[in-house]
Structure 1
Amino acid sequence: MNNTKRLVQRLLVGGIAAATVATGLIVGVAGPASADPVGDLVGVGSDTTQDVMNGVADSIGLGLIGSWDAIDPNSKAQHLAISPKRGCSLNRPNGSGQGVTALRQSGNVAAAIAAPFADETDLPEAGCVDFARSSGDPGTSQSNTGRWAYVPFALDAVGVASQHFGDATATNYNQLGYDPSNAATGTGTLQKLYRDGQPVVLGGVTYDPQCNAAPCTGGATPIHLYIPQNGSGTRSFWLSKMGIGTVPAWLHDHAWTGTDYNGALVEEHDGTVLQGDANGIAPFSIAQWVSQRNGHGDRRHGAHLHSLVNVGVTPNVTVNPLSGAFPTAETGNLNASFIIRREVYNVVEWKKVNVGNAAFDAKLYSVFGPGQGLCGKSAVILSYGFALLNSAPLGHTCGAIVDGLRAFGTD
């Protein structure tokens, strides 16, 4: 073992122990109650990974991690003020984008660069936020010299959900096609609906995304296309996979009321909007669906997953979201070979997890670094519905700290 590695190990053990003794941190309780915890390392952001990070925090213990849900766990209100550390307050970020914004603001990035999100009237003080949960990668903000590192820890996939299961509509929705090789011009029926707003025929039924209520032209059936709230990483991810830049008029982030789309805000991986709309479909994290089925903060409200047909191969192949007896029964776990997949991340300051850097933070590294605390919690990650990154199915293993996943070079 070289001297650098010995030094890192001593720092990790000593740093955790010292932090625990000095601050009297407590261990959060299991499940949703740990959404508003006491913890030395504060995280905010993604709805997709909030539950698994709560579980990881409980499993690691020592009061080390305080991972705060995207919306208030009791009132379900968004953007209420929180105080995750002494002398620190901020509006609760809702989703990956807002979480990353709060992290950057906490790092003293100027408001002109890290602009406040909607309803953000209370910006975090310096050092308030230590990591941001993100279900999306750096995207167009990627920079090999960026200040912030997106550190992957698990594999997710995103499918389509509705309130239908075992009926004719479910059978039709299970025939939705997707071309994974070409989001922008692919001919899949899912892409035609979301990207182009065109009617499609499934099982002999014509579904029209621009008809809100019957009667529709030519006897078509209305289909309401939902996307999650603004600032959601899943929203950005889904739009990119559908080849969409500017959100078109036929996509909605508020619920259909029967006369307009001025209903409740569509929260990601929450089936409330589908429960009240027999014509609605929405993207849904398969890992989140499995996690909620496993009893972790169930908010599916009767949302059911659907298969997708891979039209980018010949002959076309139907790919199920779950590994079990789907569609006969919704058993099994995330199908790690599903068509639309993604890594999920925690975003931290690069220099703090770069061994040898003068600003290296042993506690932060001990949670997020390769082979460290989070990456050692395979059973927890699987329990919360995600698949592991042991074999780098999308290019990275758990805890990878690489220049290709750095962002915001102007910070």
Structure 2
Amino acid sequence: MNLKSAKRAGVVLGAVALGTTVLGAPAQADPTAPRPVVAVGSDTTQYVMNGLSSAGSLIGSYDAIGSATIDTRVPAGVCDTVTRPNGSSAGINALNADIADPAVNCIDAARSSRGPNNTSTSDLTWYRFAKDAVTVAVRNDSGLLFHTFTKAELQSIYTCETTVVDGITVNPLIPQAGSGTRTYWAAEMGINATTLPSCVKDTNGGAAVQEHDGGALVNEGDIMPYSIAQYIAQGNGLPGVPDRREAAELLSIDGQDAVVGGVFNAAFPIQREVYNVVETARTGEANIIGAFVGAGSEACNSTVIQQYGFGTLANCGTVAFTGES
């Protein structure tokens, strides 16, 4: 078994260990009928939220990419003109725009893999959801696959100080604007997510670098952040989850493998919480509580969370932050 096959087999074993039967109907890319709580935004958590949507009755989760607009509510002609938000920041911005126009009422929550940029206000509330980890991916035919990276070395690459690794010119990539993973990874690498260093690109071959999509890795020196939970979910054959890994393989950081026993390594050095964001003024509403608040909420279904590659949180459904985008 070659290295590529061994790594892929390890991910598939995770599906066997956890079981791949998702409660409820097969997960859909978008809801087939309107739901009381419409969630948009993060690519990182879209598939697990789709799975939770299928297992429950409240949450309607819309993918980050797809048609240009989303149709979340009736009557027709109001919400079917809402631009589909691609990424955490885009989802939060769309939620804010919805709040600002009471006549719209199309979006109730934003999936987010980042916290607030501004905690001086309390307009929005971030509820804890699950645990993820982020590593880097390279092509499975790249010589970089055999390099043992440290976080400090990756920071040197993303700040353009290191340009060659093992004789290979590295091309550091970062996801599209509006991505929470872009914001998170930039902070971990010590760079500005808006004004990127000259060597860091959010396009490759003219195409935008969509987060957690191995198709962005075109050349031997390409390297990009990748959600470990997303990578596991994409390899587990779950309904409604396309395998977007293509040639991507995850790398270890600081001697810690990304995946151990088919699940993400709890000792991995770069971990984060992911969230669901709602308008603070609505946190007392029954549908919002049922969807996101407390361990018994729809979003805190630990079985589904683990099936989609994420780690569970003992304090799922509690408030992590209040603030603004």
TM range (shorter): 0.7 to 0.9
Give the 5 Å matches for 1:284-299: 284-295=226-237, 296-299=241-244
Distance verdict in 2 for CA 1:365–1:265, change over 3 Å:
same
Q: Does 1:255 align with 2:204?
A: yes
* 2:95 and 2:107 in contact (8 A); partners too: yes
1:29 CA displacement: 4.6
> Which secondary structure does the structure 2 equivalent of 1:252 belong to?
coil
2:268 and 2:31 mapped to 1: Cα distance? 29
- Please point out which of 156, 163, 186 is paired with 1:192: 156
Contact conserved, 1:155 with 1:336, CA < 8 A, in 2? no
Give, in whole Å, the separation in 2 of the partners of 1:196 and 1:69: 33
Whichever residue aligns with residue 323 of structure 2, its letter is A
Q: Following TM superposition, by how much is the alpha carbon of 1:37 offset from its aligned partner in structure 2, in angstroms?
A: 4.8
Alpha-carbon shift at residue 157 of structure 1 (Å) = 0.5
Q: Which residue of 1 aligns with 2:294?
A: 370
Contact 1:35 1:69 in 2 (8 A): no
Runs of 4+ in 1 over 3 A off after TM superposition: 32-37
User: Matches of 1:297 and 1:375 in 2, distance apart?
Assistant: 21
CA drift at 1:337: 1.9
Structure 2: runs of 5+ lacking an equivalent:
1-22
Deviations 1:219-260 (A, max 9, x none): xx221111000000000100000000231110111113xxxx
Paired residues of 1:192 and 1:200 also in contact (CA < 8 A): no
2:274 aligned residue = 344
What is the CA distance between 1:131 and its match in structure 2?
A: 0.3
Equivalences for 1:4-403 in 2 at 5 Å? Answer: 29-34=25-30, 37-60=33-56, 62=57, 64-72=58-66, 80-86=68-74, 87-88=78-79, 89-108=81-100, 126-138=104-116, 140-143=117-120, 145-164=121-140, 168-172=143-147, 175-178=148-151, 188-199=152-163, 201=165, 205-206=166-167, 221-245=168-192, 246-256=195-205, 263-274=206-217, 276-295=218-237, 296-309=241-254, 318-324=255-261, 332-353=262-283, 360-390=284-314, 397-402=315-320
Partner of 1:18: none
Deviations 1:137-167 (A, max 9, x none): 11x3123x411001111000100001127x7
Over the matched positions of the two proteins, sequence identity in percent amounts to 39
Q: How many residues align?
A: 294
Displacement of 1:401 in angstroms is 1.9
Q: Which runs of 5+ in 1 are unaligned?
A: 1-26, 110-123, 179-187, 207-220, 257-262, 310-317, 325-331, 354-359, 391-396
Larger Rg: 1
In 1, Cα distance between equivalents of 2:247 and 2:324: 39
For 1:351, what is the secondary structure of its paired residue?
helix
| CA distance in structure 2 between the partners assigned to 1:43 and 1:376 by the alignment | 15
The alpha-carbon deviation at position 125 of structure 1 amounts to 5.0
TM-score by length of 1: 0.68
SS of the residue corresponding to residue 380 of structure 1 reads: helix
- Report if the CA contact (8 A) 1:153-1:343 is conserved: yes
Q: CA RMSD in A?
A: 2.1
d(CA) in 1 for partners of 2:32 and 2:270? Answer: 31
Deviation at residue 374 of structure 1 after TM alignment: 2.9
Q: Give deviations 1:15-56, integer Å, cap 9, x for gaps.
A: xxxxxxxxxxxx995234445653121111000000000000
CA distance in 1, matches of 2:145, 2:55: 38
Q: Give the letter for the 1:299 counterpart.
A: R
